[in-house]
Chains A and B, each alone.
Chain A
Amino acid sequence: MRVRAILGLLGAAMVSLLCLGGSVLAAAAVPMAPGDEGISINVILLDQGQPTAENPKGTPIPGVRIIVEDATGTEIGNDVTNKKGVASVSVAEGGDYVVRLDTDTLPEGTELSDPDDVTNSVNVLGFDTTVQFPIGLAERTGTDIGTRILGLVLSGLKFGLIIALASLGLSLVFGTTGLTNFSHGELVTLGALLAYGFNAGLGLHVLIAAPLAVVAMAVVGYLQDAGFWSPLRRRGTGNIALMIVSIGLALFLRSLFQYVFGGDTKAYDRYVTQTPWTLGPLSITPKSFAIDVIAVVVLVLVSLAVARTRLGKATRAVADNPPLSASSGINVNAIISIVWIMGTALAGLSGVLLGLDQQVEFQMGFKILLLVFAAVTLGGLGTIWGAMAGSIVVGLLVELSTLIIPSELKYIGALLLLIVILLFRPQGLFGRAERVG
């Protein structure tokens, strides 16, 4: 009885952990016990070339025959994919099996990404196993390479611009306060969640909800500094300690978001799918275009403000030498407060646009945090132009690397670049060498 209860509890914990998306607690990960009906091999057929709002991973393909054979080639059973694109064949016990797809039953115009890949060997280990046949990726490889590169450059630029907004915020805060803020990703998420809340919760139009979310994030920025970081600065808490505080804050916020928002992915109620505008080989959806324009305008305005205005100059003075600026009459705390407001609003805008481009989810910001770090480091910690240029490089790299590596690995390129840059130019591409000794 006890053991049952414990197992049940562990099972529950495991489900919650899966929702958490990979946060691990070793205790929970007990292998699932085989069900009473034996073990089944499941196949899910999705046309990954055609993602839609309901099926972001791809359109299901029904009516395709799947055959399962054992290691000696004897057929064990077969099934036809249903409306969800799922076929399921039961096997008696664990072992090696071959799953074959009958290409003749594929609908007209649909082809396997790799036409030779009609069989899949699986090793079944006492619980249900899922097998996939990539479909729809072939279509893209089929188009001419120039168009494909152009498409990737466009999406890379867009991604880079979205990251740039977040990087700029991170870099501004780092520059003035020295804080390496690991909770910056959660600010990105919060922007998207607020926009979603105003949109789906209060029923506001996206075009109203989005700017409202950014304004709300500016307020969050102010409160965050006044209520949290500023008191810590006054206590003289060291930078490394603050970094760990920010990690705690990130864990706190991320779990809180999941608590309130849930673990699934949601979209704003508009602009989910759009027919792209085409201009020769160029093809861009109106929302992508809007994202690009908004990001560019904001980035230019902010960097001009930092470069030209009195406020901007004061900001740079504080970044350079807080005590000196204080003694020359600059109100350092006010400047830092403004930087937090700007940085948080920028992060929020980044989240709003990311939510528009992809969808809204409780750890969307956490997922891009490392790319943001990569971008900021690439440009040189604390330099504004560097952060933006670094972001564009990261965005392009992430997208263009899919020409060579599978897209599941696309973030790796940027992270590797980060390491290589640190190896050869630790001050970043645009930073200056540091004072030694």
Chain B
Amino acid sequence: MPAEATGSHAASESVGTTGTTTRDHDAILVGEDVIRRFGGLTAVDVDRVEVKRGLITALIGPNGAGKTTFFNVLTGFDQPDSGSWSFNGRSLKGMPPYKVARLGMVRTFQLTKVLAKLSVIENMRLGATGQRGESMLSAVFPTLWRSQEKINTERADTLLQRFNLDAKREDFAGSLSGGQRKLLEMARALMVDPDLIMLDEPMAGVNPALKQSLLGHVKGLRDEGRTVLFVEHDMDMVRDISDWVIVMAQGKIVAQGPPLEVMANPKVIDAYLGAHHDSDLSVEEEEARLEKVRERLQAKTGPRDREDGDPRE
């Protein structure tokens, strides 16, 4: 599938922060006319969305924009009222979540789901796919799965090290802190060896120092050839690592494009401002407010003038 434009933004020869162009990338995930309603509320109403292979795409939007719901629909955890979506050209409509994951599209959860009464390393081992010992019949014969288990454990240990969790290897996952849980979940998702990894607010609650090293890891994923789609409220992170940004508001995709461009887009500012111009503000007042927000966003998206890891505000 060619990287055909989804509106004017996609068509631009934008250059991501790392210099990767979007032009040579086909779409790994395509969604069309996806609608999910909860009673009277339309949580998701997406005409068309594409996630490009090999890039880091950020999905941003104010609280309640429908990002998590969209994740749920794409990964089979929730059924939309209508729409179609496909991964690597394969329709995922009606496919149960575990099959989606097996195809190589793995997600994490906004509210972390660690397996509290299992140790950290067991959490990691669970992630590995194609385990012979997971079939009931061969489970009783350890000789059939021991060697595979050893390889998986080695892989898990490498990942734990990368995510600074190696010291916690034998602890119950339930004893981890909120940030550590986020890390464990991400590491565990990588055990599946996915083509596309979807992270729902991976950095929420992670301390700034660790955040910086994690950003490196996420970029590393791209360098390994994986595609990353992540939801994030932290604009610094979005600006730092994403090649492409999709903005959702009230269930719709209101803008998309390279980070710098998107963050200067008035529509995006509107979305984040929340309250709209149809209120009884005078034109001047409105302009003034918009200007403020624009400034704030500009400050964040502007050239890097701060040290990494500097605590802000």
Q: Residues of A with Cβ closer than 8 Å to B?
A: 432, 436-437
B contact residues around A437 at 8 Å (CB) = 68, 71-72, 77-78, 109
B contact residues around A436 at 8 Å (CB) = 72, 77-78
B68 to chain A, nearest CB (A): 7
B241 to chain A, nearest CB (A): 25
Rounded to whole angstroms, the CA-CA distance of A437 and B77 in the bound complex is 6
B96 to chain A, nearest CB (A): 12
Query: What is the number of residues of chain B that contact chain A, defined by CB distance less than 8 Å?
Result: 7
A425 to chain B, nearest CB (A): 15
Rounded to whole angstroms, the CA-CA distance of A319 and B37 in the bound complex is 23
B126 to chain A, nearest CB (A): 19
Closest to A436 in B: B78
Q: Top 3 nearest A-B pairs by Cβ distance?
A: A437-B77, A437-B72, A436-B78
- Which residues in chain B, 70-109, are within 8 Å of chain A measured between CB atoms? 71-72, 77-78, 109
What are 8 A-B pairs with beta-carbon distances under 8 A?
Answer: A432-B39, A436-B77, A437-B68, A437-B71, A437-B72, A437-B77, A437-B78, A437-B109
Q: Residues of B with Cβ closer than 8 Å to A?
A: 39, 68, 71-72, 77-78, 109
Closest to B110 in A: A437
Rounded to whole angstroms, the CA-CA distance of A436 and B36 in the bound complex is 13
- Total contacts A to B, CB within 8 angstroms? 10
B contact residues around A432 at 8 Å (CB) = 39
Residue in B71, B78, B109 whose Cβ sees the most chain A Cβ within 10 Å: B78
Rounded to whole angstroms, the CA-CA distance of A432 and B77 in the bound complex is 17
Rounded to whole angstroms, the CA-CA distance of A437 and B79 in the bound complex is 11
Rounded to whole angstroms, the CA-CA distance of A432 and B39 in the bound complex is 9
A contact residues around B71 at 8 Å (CB) = 437
B116 to chain A, nearest CB (A): 12
Closest to A435 in B: B38
Closest to B113 in A: A437
A contact residues around B77 at 8 Å (CB) = 436-437
Known: A432-B39, A437-B72, A437-B78. 7 other contacts (CB 8 A): A436-B72, A436-B77, A436-B78, A437-B68, A437-B71, A437-B77, A437-B109
A323 to chain B, nearest CB (A): 14
Rounded to whole angstroms, the CA-CA distance of A210 and B78 in the bound complex is 50
Rounded to whole angstroms, the CA-CA distance of A74 and B122 in the bound complex is 75
B114 to chain A, nearest CB (A): 16
Rounded to whole angstroms, the CA-CA distance of A436 and B109 in the bound complex is 12
A contact residues around B109 at 8 Å (CB) = 437
A171 to chain B, nearest CB (A): 21
B91 to chain A, nearest CB (A): 21
B43 to chain A, nearest CB (A): 11
Rounded to whole angstroms, the CA-CA distance of A437 and B71 in the bound complex is 9
Rounded to whole angstroms, the CA-CA distance of A436 and B111 in the bound complex is 12
A contact residues around B72 at 8 Å (CB) = 436-437
Rounded to whole angstroms, the CA-CA distance of A436 and B38 in the bound complex is 12
A contact residues around B78 at 8 Å (CB) = 436-437
Rounded to whole angstroms, the CA-CA distance of A436 and B72 in the bound complex is 8
Rounded to whole angstroms, the CA-CA distance of A437 and B68 in the bound complex is 9
B41 to chain A, nearest CB (A): 12
A230 to chain B, nearest CB (A): 26
A383 to chain B, nearest CB (A): 15
Rounded to whole angstroms, the CA-CA distance of A436 and B69 in the bound complex is 9
Closest to A433 in B: B38
Rounded to whole angstroms, the CA-CA distance of A432 and B40 in the bound complex is 13
A218 to chain B, nearest CB (A): 36
Rounded to whole angstroms, the CA-CA distance of A436 and B96 in the bound complex is 13
Rounded to whole angstroms, the CA-CA distance of A432 and B109 in the bound complex is 23
B169 to chain A, nearest CB (A): 27
A430 to chain B, nearest CB (A): 14
A432 to chain B, nearest CB (A): 8
B75 to chain A, nearest CB (A): 8
Closest to B78 in A: A436
B73 to chain A, nearest CB (A): 9
A206 to chain B, nearest CB (A): 48
Rounded to whole angstroms, the CA-CA distance of A436 and B77 in the bound complex is 7
Rounded to whole angstroms, the CA-CA distance of A437 and B78 in the bound complex is 7
A contact residues around B68 at 8 Å (CB) = 437
Rounded to whole angstroms, the CA-CA distance of A432 and B68 in the bound complex is 20
Closest to B72 in A: A437
B174 to chain A, nearest CB (A): 13
A103 to chain B, nearest CB (A): 61
B129 to chain A, nearest CB (A): 21
